[in-house]
Amino acid sequence: MMNTLHLIRSSKKYSMHKPFLLSGTLLGGIAVVLGAFGAHGLKKIVPAETVATFQTGVQYQMYHALALVLTAIVFEKAGQQGLLQWAGYCFLAGILLFSGSLYLLTMMKATGKVGMEGIGIITPFGGLFFIAGWLLFFIGVLKMK
């Protein structure tokens, strides 16, 4: 009975940190690809300030992909820790909203699409998710035994 309970607890702990680890490594790899595109191909089709906007998205994607990997590692060490789980979700949401909106704005400028300039309002919400993620991560680490 005790052995079964240990396996259930172990599988729950393992099952949550693995998606953050996989997401972090995948999003980190995508950030490298996007960064290379931004450095070599994008500057041929958009102005320099648009390239800078794109690179900001890439940088923050990479920072928070690494934060996801760190969250997965700490989550595994801490066991079931709800705050760390929410931190990971906030990092994912931040990448989607912050970096994703910057990529979308860049694509719109590259293709000459107009009428969706308001998409930039999404970017600060992504930033708020990043901040919330770091705060949750900090509190979660403080609560670790």
Using an 8 Å Cβ cutoff, are 101 and 119 in contact? yes
What is the residue-level pLDDT of the chain in tens, covering all 145 positions? Answer: 445 444 444 545 455 689 999 999 999 999 999 999 999 999 889 999 999 999 999 999 999 999 999 999 998 888 767 999 999 999 999 999 999 999 999 999 888 876 666 788 999 999 999 999 999 999 999 988 8
Q: How far is the first Cα of the chain from the last one, in angstroms, to the nearest whole number?
A: 26
What's the number of CA atoms in the CB half-sphere (13 Å) around residue 126?
21
Using an 8 Å Cβ cutoff, are 27 and 63 in contact? no
Supply 113's token pair.
């699409």
Q: What pTM does this model have?
A: 0.86
